[in-house]
Structure 1
Amino acid sequence: MYKNYNMTQLKPGYNLQIATNSQFVLSYDLFQNPTDTRTLIPFLTMIQNTFGYLPEYIVADAGYGSEQNYMAIIDDFNKTPLITYGMFIKDKTRKFKSDIFNTQN
């Protein structure tokens, strides 16, 4: 992780992942990956190995949204992902939908 906004000095950083159910911590793990997208699959694998199963619905915020994560949850774990993608809120705005220069329109 970078110490200042100039991004000139790199400092070691860690990413803590916590799995909860009804505000109770079920599992946690510490990763050296800087983003959430690269920690979801190893974290789910660790939970499955520890408890022997995963819930039917995998719920996470947009930081975990990537095609690789969606496909792994569906294909490898046979579960349903409830994860929005990073542009979800912006996609729903009127300005975004009416922009003729947007390649998605």
Structure 2
Amino acid sequence: MASRAGLPVATAHRLTGELVSWGALQRSGQDYLIGHRIWQLGLLAPAHQGFAELAAPYMQDVLFVTQNVVNLFILDNDQVLLLERMSGTRVGAPIPARR
């Protein structure tokens, strides 16, 4: 992290420690993950609501036909972010083939 941020190692270590204690980062072995505080901030972003509102009618159509869980993801470089989930009544049930 220090080299990517252009910071001295000691400074990066101190900052990551503060971010972990605040909840912005979470430690997992040797790695750091996004913490609950960053997720909470991300949910306040207006882009989340815009995509979800735009996709909602289409997601409801898929939910009506499949009766299975419908997820809305967006691609962010090589990762995906779950924006919205609609629960179905036939979770885990196979989708019947159309004839």
Name the TM-score, length of structure 1 as normaliser. 0.25
**Bigger helix fraction:** 2
Q: Normalising by structure 2, report the TM-score.
A: 0.26
